[in-house]
Structure formats: structure tokens, C-alpha cells
Structure 1
Amino acid sequence: MQRFLVERQIEGAANLTPEQLAEIAKTSNAAVASLGVPYNWVTSYVAGDKIYCVHETEDAETIREHARRGGFPADLVSVVANEFGPQTAGSA
């Protein structure tokens, strides 16, 4: 599976309540279950009017189908080419 970064433009996203986020998660989980293919929603981050999600699946079209079934946007879908963090400095 490939890892993808998904950007969703949602006005007022930063003001969503925990209850609203829980409902979005339920909707997303149901959409994942309906796909019938390997799919893993890793995590999501809310920042301003955007939600950034990390998902794993075979291709970008499956990400877009998940969004269609869930009724939420997928404004930008990008394959994650690599990951690194502070621990990476020690491997050079």
C-alpha cells in the first residue's frame, strides 16, 4: 500500500466540536468499510480551514472514492514520497 496526504478545505474546520469530529470519523469509517479494498486511515490534523489526513491504500482514485462515499472533499491527494523527523539526523 502507498501512503497519501489528503488536503480537505472545510470552512471553519478549526471550530468543529469533538462531537462533530466523532461524526466525521464515523462517516469516514463507514466509507472505508464500504470500499472492499485494503485501506487504512492513519490520522488527521485540523488546522484553520483545512483538514490534513494520512491514508494508506493502493491508489489515489481509491482515496477520491472514499471521499465521494463519505461526502467530504479531497482537494489535494498526494503520494507521500518519504518520511523523516528528528531521528533521521542520526542516520546520516
Structure 2
Amino acid sequence: MRNSLIAFILMLTSTAVFAADGQQYIIERTIPGAQNLTPAELKSISQKSRAILESLGPEIVWQQSYVAEDKFYCVYQAPNKEIIAKHAKLGGFPADKIVAVSGVIGPQTAAD
């Protein structure tokens, strides 16, 4: 019972984040050699991205990114795809694919 309650609370928490203002998006960016970027290079990319986000205002929020092989997979919250594309253009970052998240699942959704 306790595990079910914890799983339910976790599900509500993740749903609340997903249902906040704006839509959650996943951006796929092809960056050849991404997996070989140094911590200093990743920091520089992050700083540039944050500076551009600050100039765009609070309606676009970078949640996190994953580096995998020659790709970055970034999670953003924004009102639309256009502002994400604008962020990419201003930063000189590729945005090969921008897709809206339609649902979130994880181990907590499998709990009884």
C-alpha cells in the first residue's frame, strides 16, 4: 500500500510538471562528435544557450539535455515550436527535429 501511495504521488508530481504553463518539447540536435566534447566545451555551449534563453524571456525553459553519440536530445518547456526554433537560430544550434511531448511514463506508471 505504501509503495502504491508513493508511486501515485510521484505520478502526480511528474504530471504537475508536465501540465505547467507551456508545452514540453524534445529537440533532436545533430552535432558530429558530440560524445567527444570536453566538459569545458559543454559548459561553453550551456552558457551560450542560457544567455540566449534569458534574452527570450521566461516563457521558454531549458529543462535538461542528453548527449548520446552525435546527438543532443534536449527537453524544453515553451508555448510553441517557433520560440524553440528561434533559440536554435540565435545560438547557431541545429534543431533537426522539435516534437511536442504527448505523455510521460516511467516505472511509477506501472505500479499498482
1:81 equivalent in alignment to 2:102: yes
* DSSP-derived class of the 2:111 partner: helix
- Is there any run of 5+ residues in structure 1 with no aligned partner, and where? none
Give the match's secondary structure for 2:25. Answer: strand
Same amino acid, percent of matched pairs: 47
Structure showing the higher strand proportion among its residues: 1
* Long gaps (5+) in structure 2: 1-21
How do residues 1-92 of structure 1 correspond to structure 2 at under 5 angstroms? 1-90=22-111
Q: Which has the higher helix share?
A: 2
TM-score w.r.t. the length of structure 1 is 0.95
- Would you identify which runs of 4 or more consecutive aligned residues in structure 1 move more than 4 Å? none
Paired residues in the alignment total: 91
In 2, Cα distance between the equivalents of 1:10 and 1:30? 20
